[in-house]
Amino acid sequence: MMTSRRNFLKTSGSLAAGALLFPSLSEAAKVKNVGIQLYTVRKEMLADAVGTLKQLAKIGYKELESARSDKGNYYGLKPKEIRKIASDLGMTVRSGHVHIDKDWKRSVDMAAEAGQSYLVCSSLPSEGQTISNYERCADLFSKAAEDCQKTNLVFGYHNHDYEFEKKNGKVLYDILIEKSDPKLVKMEMDLGWAILTGNDPLKYFAKYPGRFPLWHLKDMDAKKKESTEFGKGQIDIVKMLKNMDKAGMKHFFVEQEEYPKTAMESAKYDFDYLAKLTY
């Protein structure tokens, strides 16, 4: 018995030492609570919202981010309807994309009814690739964030590629971050667009820690300048996930806008790809 115990302790000690040298052996994390931006399946949602949500739940998606459509913010469903449908399927309507426009206050109320935690402005509320316009938008974001706070929502802004243009040596995207209220205005970084424009999201996470609670996890084909399935583009997903704490990331949403076959097939491919990852 003593010999066996000594061998056990010796083996256990070796394993512990190995874990210290190779922390991934004992600390490797799996991707959980995978979310999807419903723009990925926009045509399917417009044709059959309930049926599409059932398919996404069957694949394994747990969190949803809506996007304003021709049928409104929730594809023809009322806020409480999509909330209940999602809940019954084991999913959560976590966020939604809208515009800051004449319907803004109504969008805030609807987001609260849908049980969302976040409300995201999907594009600049006014056009103009100028420093003055971006400063004006940053002020609008701070005011919009105050509206959201009244209903326990967190306001965010989602980037594309054009925000990373420079004017007078200043990156326009940085103006939105620096001129808006850091306590109220958060950023949903579209990792695909950021990387495609030659920017490193990790530098942003280091410079503005905690400002990026939401991500769009998107792989990009650099030649075509369009989205592609995970592993077929240029994004290092594991590297991004290892830096989620610096970013302050709490939720991410898979988004793919172009597909080799169908949107649902790509949605499943991307989910299965993430399911195999450790970081």
Q: How far apart are CA 190 and CA 146, in angstroms?
A: 23
Q: How far apart are CA 103 and CA 101, in angstroms?
A: 5
Mean per-residue pLDDT, 222-229: 95
User: In the structure, what pLDDT confidence band is assigned to residue 242 with cuts at 50, 70 and 90?
Assistant: very high
Q: Is the pLDDT of residue 204 over 50?
A: yes
- Domain 29-275 maps to which CATH number in 3.40.50.20, 3.40.710.10, 3.40.50.1970, 3.20.20.150? 3.20.20.150
Q: What is the pLDDT of residue 78?
A: 98
In the predicted model, what is the mean pLDDT of the chain?
93
User: In the structure, what pLDDT confidence band is assigned to residue 83 with cuts at 50, 70 and 90?
Assistant: very high
Q: Is the pLDDT of residue 26 over 60?
A: no
Q: What is the pLDDT of residue 10?
A: 47
Please state, for a pLDDT cut of 70, what percent of the chain lies above it: 90
Q: What stretches of the chain show up as alpha helix (H) in DSSP?
A: 2-21, 24-27, 42-47, 49-59, 79-88, 104-113, 131-149, 172-179, 191-196, 201-207, 237-241, 244-247, 263-275
Q: Which residue has the tokens 């100028």?
A: 130
Q: Bridge partners of 64?
A: 36, 93
User: In the structure, what pLDDT confidence band is assigned to residue 28 with cuts at 50, 70 and 90?
Assistant: confident
Q: DSSP character for 164?
A: G
Q: What is the pLDDT of residue 27?
A: 66
